[in-house]
Every structure is written in C-alpha cells, then in structure tokens.
Amino acid sequence: MKERPSKPKISRREFLTLSGVGVAALSAACSPPMAAEQVQTQAEPPPAQRVCRLAHLTDFHILPQAGIQEQVAKAFRHVQALEDQPDFVLNTGDSIMDSLTTSKEDAERQWQAFLEVVQNECHLPIYHAIGNHDVWGWGVKQAGIQTDPLYGKGLAMQKLGLSAPYYSFDVGGWHFIVLDSVHPANAVSKEPYIGKLDEEQFGWLEAEVKRVAPDTPIAIASHIPILSACELFDGPNEESGNWVIPGAWVHIDARRFRQLFLDHPNIRLCLSGHSHQHERIDYLGVTYLTNGAISGNWWRGSYMNFPPAYVLVDLYSDGSVRQQFVPYG
C-alpha cells in the first residue's frame, strides 16, 4: 500500500491511530459489502494442466491488538479450510501497520504481533516480500538513527528470516522471483520512498531471468505494482488536467521492465499488493495482478469498494493464469 494525498475513507494519520479499534468494530468492518463474484476478474478456464496454486495474502497492516490479530488469524484459517488447498502462501508486504515513522520499539511490537499469528496459524509454506511500511525509520528525523544496523530494511529482514531483500524459488515448474520494490525517495517524491529497483538489483534480475530455461514460465512478485490502472482512481489524480500517478504508487522504472519482459516472453505474471484494490491487466503477454489487502481499508471496512480479501492464483503448465478474489470475513 502507499501513502496517498487524499483518501476517500481514512486519512494517513487516522490509520496510524487505530490502536482504539475494538473487536466489535473490527468484526463489523470486515463484513464484506460485496459478493466475491462482483469483484472477480477471471479468465476463461485454460486447457493446460494446473501445476501450482498459491494464496496471495498482502497488506496485513497488523497491530498488537487482539481484535486485529484475530482477523489476520481468520484470514489464514479461511485459506487453510479450502477444499482445494494452495501449495503455498505469498505475502507481498506491509505485514505491519507502519514502521516508516515509528520508534524501533513500536516497530518491534508490531512485528511480534505479526509473527505470533503466522507461527500459530499459518501451516503452509510462506514466502515474504518487504513493503514500504515494513521499512523502519526512513520517515523518522532522529540524529544517529541511520547508524542502527536494523535501520531501513534490516529489521524486516531479521523478522522475516530473509538473508537478502530479493530472492527466487521454484514451485510446480514455475520460477518465482520476489523483488524488493521499495527504493529511497527521489527529489520529487512526497513520500520517503518510490517504487523502483536500484542498479544492483536490476542487474541481478536480468541475470536471474536469463538463467531460466525459456520454456519455464516466470512469476515476479513485488509489493509496489509494476503496472496498475486502478491507481488512476485512488485520489484526485486528474485535477491538474493530466493524469498524475506518483512514483510511490507504481514502479517509476516500469518502462525498463517492459523491455525486459519483451526480451523474455516466458515472464508471464506479475503479482503485487500496495493499492488495497484488485485488478487484472493483460498486456503484451504478461498478466499483472494487483491483489487487494487483508486489512481492507486499514481495518475499517472496504477500500475503494474492495473488502478485506485474499486472492487465489492458479498457474498452468502453458504459462496461463487464473485468479479468484476471496473475501474472508
């Protein structure tokens, strides 16, 4: 998810004061106002064999509160009660409410709450990416904070057990690449970050893609979307007379990805969170899925008409993709 200048439901400051949200309010907030079929964007069943199913859970925004922790546990239980079980869970970040602008102690408490739920409730393999709100201290003006070895992404990597902020793995004949899409801000960003890969990571990505056999389909996961259309409607982005989408919402280096994807047509899928909305874009042979939020509107119901939900993604031997948006409340 990202920080936006205008929220139709909840302001940035409001969601950081959610410590007063009660269990009863959460129960009501997580009751989906829409039927799942109203927001699904699902392709026709492909003829190829399904080789992998994953459950994409993202943007948990957990706080150390019993009510919120129970709702996150509820999401994991919903996934694991499915008759047709996924092979693994993919978490594309913003696991905690916010550590960009909080103390280390507060960030530690949030991580403890998240890890308690994962350890107690998630019995499937789980892979994690780092979200912008998982980054500690980039928005804190405090002398000497940058000398702390856990400053920035170090704390999230420690808590998630990551030896590097980006990595790859293989499941069901697909190659998965998990990116670190949160980059320090450029000169024009209003947030302390933008969506971008630095030169080192992009070079690693190019080499990683090249080493994969051309008949092996590739899926790329990132917190911030590489390509997104729903962001057009998240705020008054046309007020200037031109559509303007900040680089903190969608990868500012998307053009570079476009060329890489054209050069490697076995890249078939990009998965992301960040927007708290769900959409599917099929563009030049690549499916881009932005897959909602477990927290919905930061634990206050639906965001942009999308209730708290996860997305099931079915992958096929020919590189095709199907998905289902699943409200769990």
Q: pLDDT for 204-244, tens place per residue? A: 999 999 999 999 999 999 999 999 999 999 999 999 999 99
Closest CA to 291 of 312, 319, 322: 312
Percent of the chain with pLDDT strictly greater than 90: 85
Please state, in angstroms and rounded to a whole number, the distance separating the CA atoms of residues 87 and 108.
30
Percent helix, percent strand, percent coil in the chain, to nearest 5: 30, 25, 50
Please state, in angstroms and rounded to a whole number, the distance separating the CA atoms of residues 119 and 125.
11
pLDDT of res. 15: 45
In this prediction the pTM is 0.88
Collapsing DSSP to helix, strand or coil, 79 comes out as helix
Place of tokens 């280390």: 104
Percent of the chain with pLDDT strictly greater than 70: 86
pLDDT of res. 36: 42
| Residue 132 per-residue DSSP state | G
CB–CB of 216/210 below 8 Å? no
Query: What's the chain's average pLDDT?
Result: 90
Please state, in angstroms and rounded to a whole number, the distance separating the CA atoms of residues 94 and 130.
7
Please state, in angstroms and rounded to a whole number, the distance separating the CA atoms of residues 143 and 146.
8
Q: What is the mean pLDDT of residues 29-41?
A: 48
Class of domain 54-327: alpha beta
For residue 42, pLDDT over 90 is answered with no
Q: pLDDT for 104-140, tens place per residue? A: 999 999 999 999 999 999 999 999 999 999 999 999 9
For residue 60, pLDDT over 70 is answered with yes
Please state, in angstroms and rounded to a whole number, the distance separating the CA atoms of residues 325 and 329.
13
- Structure-token pair, residue 100: 């960009």
Ramachandran quadrant class, 62 (left: phi over 0; alpha: psi -120 to 50; beta: rest): beta
Please state, in angstroms and rounded to a whole number, the distance separating the CA atoms of residues 306 and 309.
8
> Which residues 6+ apart lie within 8 Å of 147 measured at CB?
none
Closest CA to 137 of 184, 183, 100, 107: 100
Collapsing DSSP to helix, strand or coil, 230 comes out as helix
Q: Strand 278-283 vs strand 193-195: parallel, antiparallel, or unpaired?
A: unpaired
For residue 2, pLDDT over 70 is answered with no
Residue 127 bridge partners (DSSP)? 90
For residue 33, pLDDT over 60 is answered with no
> Which residues 6+ apart lie within 8 Å of 313 measured at CB?
53, 54, 55, 56, 269, 271, 289, 291, 321, 322, 323
305: number of Cβ within 10 Å:
13
> Which residues 6+ apart lie within 8 Å of 108 measured at CB?
155
Give the model's confidence band at 329: pLDDT under 50 very low, under 70 low, under 90 confident, else very high. confident
For residue 31, pLDDT over 60 is answered with no
User: Can you give the residue ranges of every domain in the chain?
Assistant: 54-327
pLDDT of res. 45: 58
CB–CB of 68/109 below 8 Å? no
Cβ burial, residue 263 (10 Å; 0-12/13-18/19+): exposed
46: number of Cβ within 10 Å:
15
